[in-house]
Amino acid sequence: MSIHKVIVFDSKLYDEKTFKLALKSLGGQDKLRFTFLESKLTEETVDEVQGYDGICVFVNDVVSANVIEEIQKKSNTLKIIALRSAGFNHVSLETAEKYNLKVCRVPRYSPYAVAEHSVALLLSLNRNMHHAFFRTKQHNFSLDGLVGVDLFGKTVGIIGTGGIGMCAINIFLGFGCKVLAYDVFPNEKAAKEKGYIYTTMDELLRESDVVSIYAPLLDSTYHLINKEALEKMKPHAMLINTSRGGLVDAKALVDCLKSGKLRGAALDVYENEKEYFFNDYSQQVMEDDTLARLISMPNTIVTSHQAFLTEEALKNIAETTIQNLLDFFDGKPLNENNEVKAPPKVAPK
Ligand code: NAD
């Protein structure tokens, strides 16, 4: 029986640990061999792929048309691209299809993890936990500047009511908030059962004390929250983004925060995050002025794309990824929810 070699980019110790456990529990040790690499897949690291049957990538690896073309020039052994994420906005699906490369993902590993992190960010921002933590560490027990608002009775606007958005809705309804939602495919049945209300994007922005984003990054959602959208938001509202950085125009957000219009913003994702996130740059001067400005603001919290990071999510990511690879190399069809295909080409009119 042949062993299929898969190189895992942007991997951390926790990935290696959970992959080894999942490989054992799924009985795949004699079928798959993983090489774990800390570096991200980029145009500079494509050489690493030579001789591998599969690559396994995360959200900040670059799987662009150029990268796939470069891989193909140097090695023709590659057969599958296994994403350790639900989102696939970082992959050129058309180029993968051109070279007959399968692409698979983990569509749902823990919507709770991401929704809970977004709520943690909101609670921290609203109640100034990021300041209180450092104050008490320095034995400063003063309360000036730590005033928040009750979330009970406030209006929370949820953009995107899929798996994660729906978990967030449940939490906010439990807090006693009024929940407004916007989705291109509204789930009116759920809205009726749970007691939240679908509305237009404009009304959601105008009415919400908190706007939290759970929509995917697509061409149509790029900079969904731009200068105009920020202008529509209620004064003193809070913006939370745990979805993808590209949904928010970060420069416009900096300007809006500088003007004092918003109470604050909490971001787990940033549009140019792949330059920095997941790595330690504490000894270097930051070159990204927009990110540096956001981090410097007292009413902003930035976490480095960690909303997914729970034990349960890591276990599910490892198990689903390995099952995808085993199915593929065993010649079985990929689970239809896990396979990602290029959108069908529209015939010219
Ligand atoms: P999902 O596919 O279950 O739900 C996405 C929802 O967004 C769908 O209901 C869809 O109809 C809606 N949508 C699409 N376009 C929209 C638009 N223009 N306006 C409003 N709604 C729109 O996805 P999910 O599992 O809930 O994940 C949501 C996003 O969260 C992912 O796309 C991913 O980018 C992000 N995510 C982040 C992390 C993290 O660690 N920060 C982890 C996992 C996922």
Quick: pLDDT tens for 10-49: 999 999 999 999 999 999 999 999 999 999 999 999 999 9
Q: Phi first, then psi: what are they for 83, rounded to 5°?
A: -90, 135
Catalytic positions: 244, 273, 305
In a domain, 134, yes or no: yes
In a domain, 285, yes or no: yes
Does residue 177 share a domain with residue 48?
no
167 lines ligand 1 (CB under 6 A): no
What is residue 276's predicted lDDT score, i.e. its pLDDT? 93
Does residue 128 share a domain with residue 42?
no
> What residues have CB less than 8 Å from 279, skipping those under 6 apart?
none
pTM: 0.93
Any idea which residue has 């991401």 for tokens?
114
Instruction: Return the number of other C-beta atoms located less than 10 Å from residue 277's C-beta.
Output: 21
In a domain, 288, yes or no: yes
What are 100-156's pLDDT values in tens digits? Answer: 999 999 999 999 999 999 999 999 999 999 999 999 999 999 999 999 999 999 999
Contact of 191 with 198, CB cutoff 8 Å: yes
325 lines ligand 1 (CB under 6 A): no
305 lines ligand 1 (CB under 6 A): yes
Does residue 324 share a domain with residue 249?
no
In a domain, 9, yes or no: yes
> What residues have CB less than 8 Å from 30, skipping those under 6 apart?
1, 3
Which of 266, 283, 302 marks a domain boundary?
302
**Best of 118, 183, 241 to mutate for ligand 1, by most ligand atoms within 8 A of CB?**
183
Does residue 146 share a domain with residue 29?
no
Q: Phi first, then psi: what are they for 199, rounded to 5°?
A: -145, -175
ipTM for the complex? Answer: 0.99
Does residue 95 share a domain with residue 172?
no
Contact of 9 with 29, CB cutoff 8 Å: no
Does residue 119 share a domain with residue 105?
no
9 CA → ligand 1 middle, Å: 24
Does residue 117 share a domain with residue 63?
no
Q: How many residues would you count in the chain?
A: 349
324 CA → ligand 1 middle, Å: 21
What is residue 345's predicted lDDT score, i.e. its pLDDT? 73
What is residue 2's predicted lDDT score, i.e. its pLDDT? 84
Going by CA atoms, what residue is nearest to atom 30 of ligand 1?
243
User: For 2, which DSSP code?
Assistant: P
Q: Supply the range of the domain harboring residue 104.
A: 4-109+310-330
Give the chain's residues under pLDDT 70. Answer: 1, 346-349
CA distance linking residue 119 with residue 171, whole number of Å: 8
In a domain, 336, yes or no: no
In a domain, 335, yes or no: no
Does residue 76 share a domain with residue 52?
yes
What is residue 3's predicted lDDT score, i.e. its pLDDT? 95
214 lines ligand 1 (CB under 6 A): yes
In the chain, the number of structural domains is 2
Contact of 113 with 346, CB cutoff 8 Å: no
Atom of ligand 1 nearest to the CA of 159: 20
Contact of 260 with 254, CB cutoff 8 Å: no
CA 25 from chain center: how many Å? 27
CA distance linking residue 264 with residue 241, whole number of Å: 12
Longest C-alpha distance within the chain, in Å? 70
In a domain, 260, yes or no: yes
Does residue 157 share a domain with residue 66?
no
The enclosing domain of 217 has a CATH number of 3.40.50.720
Does residue 212 share a domain with residue 297?
yes
Does residue 187 share a domain with residue 142?
yes
Handedness of CA 179, 181, 187, 192 (dihedral sign): positive
Which residue, 189, 120, 165, is CA-closest to 180? Answer: 165
Q: Which helix (H) or strand (E) holds 36?
A: strand 32-36
In a domain, 348, yes or no: no
110 lines ligand 1 (CB under 6 A): no
Does residue 265 share a domain with residue 125?
yes
